[in-house]
Chain A
Amino acid sequence: MKKFDRERVLLAVAGPVIALAVAFVLSAIVLIASGKSPVEPFALMFEQAAFSDIQVLIVNQASMYYIAALAVAIGFRMNLFNIGVDGQYQLAAMMAAVVGAHLNLPAVLQIPLLILTALFTGAFWSGVAGVLKVTRGVSEVVATIMLNAIATSVIAYLWLPDVFGVKVGNNNTTGEMHASGWVPGIDLGAAGEIYGLVVLAVLLGIGYWVVLNRTRFGFDLRASGASESAAAASGVDPRRMVLTAMLISGGIAGLAGLPILLGDTHTYSLNFPTGIGFLGIGIALLGRNSPVGIAFAALLWAWLDKASPELDFHGYDKEIAVIMQGLIVLSVVVSYEAVREWGLRRQQRRVGAELAAGHVLGADNNTTKEVAGR
Chain B
Amino acid sequence: MTAPTTATDVNQPTLQPAAPTGRRLSWPVLLLIIAGALALTSLVRIVTGADGITNVSQMSTALQLAVPIGLAGLGGLWAERAGVVNIGLEGMMILGTWFGAWAGFQWGPWTGVLVGLAGGALGGLVHAVVTVTFNVNHIVSGVAINILALGATRYLAPLAFEGHPGGSAKQSPAIESLGHFTVPGLSDALRDLNAKGWFFVSDIAGLLGGLVTDVSWLTLIAVALIPGTWWVLWRTAFGLRLRSCGENPVAAESLGVNVYKYKYLAVVVSGALAGLGGVFLSLVANPFYLEGQTSGRGYIGLAAMIFGNWMPGGLAIGAGLFGYTDSLNLRGGSANVHALLLLGALLLVIGAIWLAVRKKYVQAAITLVVGALVFAWYAGTDEVPNQVVSATPYVITLVVLALSAQRLRMPKADGLPYRKGQGK
A143 / chain B contacts, CB cutoff of 8 Å: 398, 401
| Count of chain A to chain B residue pairs whose CB atoms are closer than 8 Å in the complex | 144
Q: Can you report 21 residue pairs joining A to B where beta carbons are below 8 Å apart? A: A30-B155, A132-B398, A141-B139, A145-B296, A146-B397, A147-B394, A154-B387, A156-B387, A157-B385, A278-B143, A282-B143, A319-B158, A322-B154, A322-B155, A326-B150, A326-B152, A329-B148, A333-B140, A370-B137, A372-B137, A373-B140
- Contact among B87, B145, B391 for A330, CB-based, below 8 A: B145
* Cβ distance B179 to chain A, nearest Cβ, rounded Å: 33
The answer to whether residues A330 and B151 also contact, given A154-B391, A319-B158 and a CB cut-off of 8 A, is: no
The 6 lowest CB-CB distance pairs between A and B, nearest first, are A326-B148, A322-B151, A153-B391, A157-B387, A319-B155, A329-B144
Q: Decide: B391 and A326 in contact? CB cutoff 8 A.
A: no
Q: Decide: B401 and A142 in contact? CB cutoff 8 A.
A: yes
* Cβ distance A41 to chain B, nearest Cβ, rounded Å: 12
Q: Is B388 an interface residue (CB 8 A)?
A: yes
* Cβ distance B273 to chain A, nearest Cβ, rounded Å: 19
Q: Is A362 an interface residue (CB 8 A)?
A: no
B154 / chain A contacts, CB cutoff of 8 Å: 319, 322
Interface size of A in residues (CB-CB distance below 8 Å):
50
Q: Is B402 an interface residue (CB 8 A)?
A: yes
Q: Is A160 an interface residue (CB 8 A)?
A: yes
Q: Decide: B401 and A285 in contact? CB cutoff 8 A.
A: no
B394 / chain A contacts, CB cutoff of 8 Å: 146-147, 149-150, 153
Q: Which of A97-105, A171-179, A334-342 has 4 or more CB atoms under 8 Å from chain B?
A: A334-342
Q: Is A325 an interface residue (CB 8 A)?
A: yes
Contacts of A249-280 to chain B: CB distance below 8 A: 278-279
* Cβ distance B338 to chain A, nearest Cβ, rounded Å: 16
Q: Is B2 an interface residue (CB 8 A)?
A: no
A274-303 Cβ-contact flags toward B at 8 Å (1 or 0): 000011011001000000000000000000
List the B residue with the shortest CB-CB distance to A129: B398
Q: Is A365 an interface residue (CB 8 A)?
A: no
The answer to whether residues A370 and B145 also contact, given A156-B387, A317-B159, A333-B136 and a CB cut-off of 8 A, is: no
The answer to whether residues A136 and B388 also contact, given A329-B147, A330-B144 and a CB cut-off of 8 A, is: no
Q: Is A81 an interface residue (CB 8 A)?
A: yes
Q: Is A368 an interface residue (CB 8 A)?
A: no
* Cβ distance A374 to chain B, nearest Cβ, rounded Å: 8
A320 / chain B contacts, CB cutoff of 8 Å: 155
B280 / chain A contacts, CB cutoff of 8 Å: none
On B, residues with C-beta under 8 Å from A are 87, 126, 130, 134-137, 139-141, 143-152, 154-155, 158-159, 296, 299-300, 302-303, 306, 385-388, 390-391, 394-395, 397-398, 401-403, 405-406, 417
The answer to whether residues A333 and B144 also contact, given A142-B302, A160-B385, A319-B151 and a CB cut-off of 8 A, is: yes
- Contact among A142, A153, A154 for B303, CB-based, below 8 A: A142
Q: How far is the CA of A34 from the CA of B158 in the complex (A)?
A: 12
Supplied contacts A139-B405, A157-B387, 5 more A-B pairs, CB within 8 Å: A138-B398, A141-B87, A278-B143, A319-B158, A326-B148
Q: Is A235 an interface residue (CB 8 A)?
A: no
B299 / chain A contacts, CB cutoff of 8 Å: 145, 149
* Cβ distance B193 to chain A, nearest Cβ, rounded Å: 35
The answer to whether residues A323 and B152 also contact, given A138-B401, A143-B401 and a CB cut-off of 8 A, is: yes
Q: How far is the CA of A154 from the CA of B145 in the complex (A)?
A: 28
List the B residue with the shortest CB-CB distance to A160: B385
B148 / chain A contacts, CB cutoff of 8 Å: 323, 326-327, 329-330
* Cβ distance A276 to chain B, nearest Cβ, rounded Å: 13
A319 / chain B contacts, CB cutoff of 8 Å: 151, 154-155, 158
The answer to whether residues A337 and B135 also contact, given A138-B402, A282-B143, A282-B147 and a CB cut-off of 8 A, is: yes
Q: Decide: A337 and B139 in contact? CB cutoff 8 A.
A: no
Q: Decide: A149 and B391 in contact? CB cutoff 8 A.
A: yes
* Cβ distance B354 to chain A, nearest Cβ, rounded Å: 18
Q: How far is the CA of A337 from the CA of B130 in the complex (A)?
A: 10
Q: Decide: A146 and B155 in contact? CB cutoff 8 A.
A: no
List the A residue with the shortest CB-CB distance to B305: A142
List the B residue with the shortest CB-CB distance to A159: B387
* Cβ distance A153 to chain B, nearest Cβ, rounded Å: 4
Q: Decide: A317 and B151 in contact? CB cutoff 8 A.
A: no
Q: How far is the CA of A60 from the CA of B66 in the complex (A)?
A: 41
Q: How far is the CA of A139 from the CA of B148 in the complex (A)?
A: 25
Contacts of A124-170 to chain B: CB distance below 8 A: 132, 136-139, 141-143, 145-150, 152-154, 156-157, 160
B150 / chain A contacts, CB cutoff of 8 Å: 322, 326
Q: How far is the CA of A282 from the CA of B150 in the complex (A)?
A: 14
The answer to whether residues A285 and B151 also contact, given A153-B391, A154-B387, A319-B158 and a CB cut-off of 8 A, is: no
Q: How far is the CA of A317 from the CA of B390 in the complex (A)?
A: 35
A326 / chain B contacts, CB cutoff of 8 Å: 144-145, 147-152
Q: Decide: B139 and A330 in contact? CB cutoff 8 A.
A: no
List the A residue with the shortest CB-CB distance to B387: A157
List the B residue with the shortest CB-CB distance to A30: B155
